[in-house]
Amino acid sequence: MGKRPDGQLEYDVLRVLWAADGSLSPAEVGEHLDLGLAYTTVATVLTRLHAKGLVERDPVGRAFVYRAVVDESEFAIRRIDDVLSATSDRSKVLAHFVRRLSPREARQIKDLLDSADQ
């Protein structure tokens, strides 16, 4: 298996939790991922997501079950915040981002900014 992009496994684990009807164990998450990952790998990702406040966990026996506490849009916002916080020139990053928007997306952002000013 090749190297995955940074954050991809966390996102994949969250997608499994978002689709679940309830809390899942690391083993259940691993089964849904179907990537052949070791239990400890999935458990480590879930522990990191818990430390970041993205999932909650409840004890069940000697283990935990997990559920997402943020939705996909909140997760995306947190990732954007992380990227912007990691740069020395936020304006330059935002400018590059805006140039890559489709005309429709640019209008949506303009409308959101206009409504925020009111």
The contacts of residue 56 (CB under 8 Å, 6+ apart) are 50, 66, 67, 69
Which stretches of the chain are assigned E, i.e. beta strand? Answer: 55-60, 63-68
Model confidence pTM above 0.85: no
Tell me the per-residue pLDDT of 85-108, one tens digit each, with 9 for 90 and over: 999 999 999 999 999 999 999 999
Structure-token match 């496994």, residue found:
9
Tell me the per-residue pLDDT of 52-65, one tens digit each, with 9 for 90 and over: 999 999 999 999 99
Q: Which helix (H) or strand (E) holds 21?
A: none
Asked if residue 7 lies in contact with residue 79, where contact means CB atoms within 8 angstroms, the answer is yes
Average pLDDT, whole number, for the chain?
92
Asked if residue 88 lies in contact with residue 96, where contact means CB atoms within 8 angstroms, the answer is no
